[in-house]
């Protein structure tokens, strides 16, 4: 007896194999996958802004070259991800429209300002560290094009994390002012980094279904805990204090306990009321509009080529 398309889909997911663009898939799976990939792509593209802010002010040619490479990588990640979304039938122009009209989300973390050069280091260490923690398991996500994009993205994210940590190590060997700058940036980014993993499991509408489809491989809270456990020894090695008086090793659980997260802040930032939401989206909208002539020229050129 031949399997129905539904059975084929279920069996592929159950066997931990990949769903490919040619395969039949449920509408709700397609919708969820487009939502997650688009939000991820938007995050990479908007994520260029906070650090791009420091390219012209990097303190040396070496730091500037590293930062330029990193911000270019983010653009590349966004493009892979938009391409992955297109394999599901999404249209990249429409996705961009949804972003700039604020009908689709991007990561809350990119709505915080980058006030000092230490922020570049802390973003590499904590923000890219959190991104790796969240994205390495996504290399085993059930949708093939997304999982494969994630492999390359994670390799590059790992370079981003290391450049940030190395920058902070250098600053911590510097003057008391530089050390204070690292501590102050850590204080500002710690809690928003924990929020990157999303709402707590009990308050996460999408986790159960995404886990059943093996789109997500771990829950938000599991990944958040993994990130805290990973970050505490890194903070110690660096010589900074994480801004949480309740952070303590729990022998019974075999994990660090940590203090309560202000979920109202995450809700506010996701709803558009973070310190930089308006500025980030406006800048993206302007860049899109400024690029209209390039898109137009490219399509006229492509049409002429195909006529020839
Ligand atoms: N910032 C903005 N929105 C968020 C965040 C966040 N930190 N966390 C959760 N949300 C949104 C979800 O998108 C969802 O909204 P929607 O249903 O309207 O689309 C809602 O809040 C509820 O959250 P969940 O049910 O937990 O949603 P989900 O199962 O999609 O989990 C998560 C959220 C963990 C972010 C998941 O989508 C994911 O792993 N995405 C891929 C990674 C990614 O996008 N990273 C971007 C930042 S890293 C970087 O770019 C360097």
Q: Is the CB of 274 under 6 A from ligand 1?
A: no
Question: How far, in Å, from the CA of 183 to the mean position of ligand 1?
Answer: 28
Is ipTM beyond 0.90?
Answer: yes
Residue 2 pLDDT more than 90?
Answer: no
Mean pLDDT, the chain, rounded, equals 97
Residue 21: the pLDDT is 97
Q: Label residue 155 exposed, middle or buried (CB < 10 Å: 0-12, 13-18, 19+).
A: exposed
To test the ligand 1 pocket, which listed residue (39, 129, 150, 218) has its Cβ within 8 A of the most ligand atoms? 39
Q: Residue 248: what are its φ and ψ, rounded to 5°? A: -155, 145
Q: Kindly report, residue by residue over 82-113, the tens digit of the pLDDT.
A: 999 999 999 999 999 999 999 999 999 999 99
pTM above 0.95, yes or no: yes
Query: Of 150, 207, 167, which Cα lies nearest the Cα of 32?
Result: 207
Q: Kindly report, residue by residue over 267-285, the tens digit of the pLDDT.
A: 999 999 999 999 999 999 9
Query: How distant, in Å, are the alpha carbons of 34, 81, 82, 96 from that of 145?
Result: 12, 9, 11, 20
pLDDT classification of 1: cutoffs 50, 70, 90: low
Q: How far apart are CA 234 and CA 117, in angstroms?
A: 20
């Amino acid at each position: 007896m031949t399997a129905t398309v539904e059975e084929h889909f279920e069996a592929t997911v159950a066997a931990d194999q990949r769903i490919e663009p040619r395969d039949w898939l449920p509408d709700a799976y397609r919708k969820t996958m487009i939502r997650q990939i688009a939000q991820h792509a938007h995050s990479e593209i908007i994520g260029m802004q906070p650090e791009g802010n420091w390219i012209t002010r990097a303190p040396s040619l070496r730091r500037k070259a590293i930062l330029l490479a990193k911000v270019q990588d983010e653009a590349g990640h966004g493009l892979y991800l938009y391409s992955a979304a297109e394999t599901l039938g999404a249209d990249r122009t429409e996705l961009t429209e949804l972003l700039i009209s604020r009908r689709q989300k991007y990561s809350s973390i990119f709505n915080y300002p980058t006030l000092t050069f230490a922020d570049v280091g802390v973003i590499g260490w904590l923000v890219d560290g959190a991104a790796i923690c969240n994205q390495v398991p996504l290399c085993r996500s059930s949708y093939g094009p997304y999982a494969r994009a994630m492999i390359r993205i994670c390799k590059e994210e790992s370079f981003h994390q290391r450049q940030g940590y190395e920058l902070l190590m250098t600053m911590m060997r510097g003057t008391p002012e530089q050390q204070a700058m690292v501590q102050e940036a850590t204080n500002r980014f710690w809690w928003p980094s924990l929020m990157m993993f999303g709402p707590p499991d009990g308050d996460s509408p999408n986790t159960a279904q995404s886990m059943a489809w093996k789109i997500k491989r771990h829950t938000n809270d599991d990944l958040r805990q993994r990130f805290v456990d990973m970050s505490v020894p890194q903070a110690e090695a660096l010589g900074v204090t994480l801004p949480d008086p309740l952070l303590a090793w729990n022998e019974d659980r075999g994990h660090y306990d940590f203090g309560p997260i202000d979920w109202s802040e995450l809700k506010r930032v996701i709803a558009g009321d973070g310190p930089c939401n308006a500025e980030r989206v406006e800048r993206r909208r302007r860049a899109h509009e400024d690029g209209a002539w390039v898109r137009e020229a490219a399509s006229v050129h492509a049409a002429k080529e195909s006529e020839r």
